[in-house]
Structure 1
Amino acid sequence: MAQCPPRLTPGMSHLLAMLCLVISGWLGSLSANAADILLTGAEDSAGAQSFVEALRELRPADSVRFQPLADLPAPGKLPADIRLILLDLPSLDWRLQDSHGPATLVLRISRLQARQHLGDAQPPRLSLLWSDPPLDRQLRLTRLLLPQVKRIGVLYDNHSEFLLKELRQAARPLGLEVVSERWDNTQDSRPLQALLDKSDVLLGLDDPDLYNSKTAKNLLLSSYSRQLALIGPNAGFVKAGSLASSYSDQGDWLAILDGLLDQPTATWPRTYYPPRFKVSSNPQVARSLGIEQINEASVATLLAEGERRP
């Protein structure tokens, strides 16, 4: 004869009911607190999808999705509570067409790109996350690797000239002098040679008109023929032959985004240099300049310890 399941006591029934209410409330709270995170760019590339998937894994409680720029309405027609992340310059131009719209993070934009697209303006509800390493960090990297140098040589053109004032202000407390030469025509080596004559080291600004695949050979051969190092302008140029640079990789950017997305959008900074970064160096170049092997992790730690950013 089959046995009937034991009856629940009134106390046990009450406990189970309360547990159901607690679980339902917890699930409802998770749903209510979940953020709607929309990433967009002109192209639905493999790189964009990989980045979105990595962010989705970091934030499983949120709705994280990519939508191509062509499929989006005007920014002002998006829900106000969406957290919008722009992945490229076309998406920035699209966002700038409308002063209304949700709070927006502009990911990995250089100072020069912002200048070209925004001028001196800082549109509301936009947070610019800089891709190029901060100038003071690059100067301190130079001091750590080459403590004997005093004169920092800098090439600039009409796009990057606005950075010189900031660079000189950052150099002064470090006891460094910035010497510069305007280089509007990269086919003419005279400004480069003149700068090498009066510099102890070259510091590259992240200006693609000056530092690119066409100018790399001249820049590097000219500087190393004088036994002068080139710092920066980015990790890509370190592979080409510059001595070292600080940079932030995808893991750093994901961690930075994760932290910002935990904050209310009203507290997002207007401009932001990533506090997480690494140092890349070129061992072959270091050896040719008589520099001891660079411990990239230790140098990055020293740089980070010296920074006090809000």
Structure 2
Amino acid sequence: MSRLFPSPALPRLRMLCHIALALLWLGLTAGAAPAAAADTVAVVLSERGGVYAEFLDALNAGMAQSPGRRVVRLTGVAAAGEKIDEAELGDASLVLAVGAGAARALARMEGTPPVLSVLVPRLTFERIAAESGRRARPGSFSALYLDQPLSRQLNLLRFALPGRKRVAALLGPESAALAPRLRSAVSRAGFELQMEQVAEEGDIVPALNRLLPATDVLLALPDGLVFNRNTARPVLLTTYRHQRPVVGFSQAYVTAGALAAVFSTPAQMGRQTAEFLRGLPAGRVTLGAPLYPSYFSVAVNRNVARSLGLDLPDEGVLREALEKAGEGE
């Protein structure tokens, strides 16, 4: 009879088992929820639009390749009159400072998550870190530099202008700190260096007239006094009079009349930044040492090359040679 008519306790037992399994499942999923939550990267721009928008578009496209791991959120713009909302930074695992203005503003703020600066040249970043005291707190303030390693610039010179060993460099107030590293890099690369430093724009052409007769090429290095919109024309005219090519650091300078340049575009920097973020562990991070650009372009001004009687390899050939040579710094 018991086999034909089950005990009334059995249905209750089955119900209790179902409830226990449901509670166990809820407990497991509740415990797993924090691990599945996406980390937030707060983004602070120096300005709206232009190169910053180009960078942000490439960053978002790169982050979309692994959705859900990290969420990029535009938090503020460090332009005049716009205040960064510190409360919105608090729940972020990392803050991305895009441009020198954003890096400077975030460096002055206390208690922020780690800050990664991008679209900032090395000398500018080092100056911001020193002035703000951030240099004393390793792991919380780092960068993906905008400018190229000196070894890559010198390799471009080697591949584009083989046989030209005497390098001229003109430094200003911003780039003066580069002098020791420049001497070392030039020596390692097997070049000879002639270098002068100027304190004001009126000193630039006289300094070039002293440097260029004894050298083969001018290596242009980022400096707001020496290479800007006002000085580009006199610098390039002076080098042309001496029949000396200029190896620059931007597409704009090549367009203006430099022979060639190696540089990274905002889109390339956005791509590298996305790859960097995707490779970070979950949660708050400890940043390592700053890095140079992994992706870069080469530009050549063919009209200038013809006027100087030079036959340079194609831009793609030069870029491939630089990629094979590696970073080296």
What TM-score do you get using the length of structure 1 for normalisation?
Answer: 0.82
Letter in 1 for 2:225: D
Superposed, 1:88-167 pairs within 5 Å as: 88-119=99-130, 122=135, 123-124=137-138, 125-167=140-182
Number of aligned residue pairs: 287
For 1:83, which of 84, 89, 94 is the aligned residue?
Answer: 94
Q: Is the 8 A contact 2:41 2:92 kept in 1?
A: no
Report the equivalent of 1:197. 213
CA distance in 2, matches of 1:177, 1:56: 44
2:222 counterpart of 1:206: yes
Q: Is the 8 A contact 1:156 1:180 kept in 2?
A: yes
CA distance in 2, matches of 1:58, 1:150: 40
SS in 2 for 1:118: helix
Report the equivalent of 1:40. 44
For 1:64, which of 72, 88, 110 is the aligned residue?
Answer: 72
Divergent runs of 4+, >4 A: 28-31
**Percent of counterpart pairs with the same letter?**
27
Structure 2, unaligned stretches of length 5 or more? Answer: 1-24
Report the equivalent of 2:315. 296
Cα deviation 1:27-82 (Å, max 9, x = unaligned):
x779825231211124443654454344233323242221224453348x833652
Report the equivalent of 2:185. 170
Structure number with greater CO (CA < 8 Å, separation at least 6) is 2
Deviates more, 1:81-90 or 1:227-236: 81-90
Q: Using the TM superposition, give the Cα deviation of residue 274 of structure 1 relative to its aligned residue in structure 2, in angstroms.
A: 0.7
Structure 1, unaligned stretches of length 5 or more? Answer: 1-20
CA RMSD of aligned residues (A): 2.8
CA distance in 1, matches of 2:268, 2:227: 24
Change (3 A) 1:252 1:195: same
SS in 2 for 1:215: helix
Report the equivalent of 1:258. 274
Change (3 A) 1:306 1:74: same
Report the equivalent of 2:10. none
Letter in 2 for 1:223: T
Q: Is the 8 A contact 1:283 1:294 kept in 2?
A: no
Change (3 A) 1:93 1:185: closer
Report the equivalent of 1:242. 258
Change (3 A) 1:43 1:156: closer
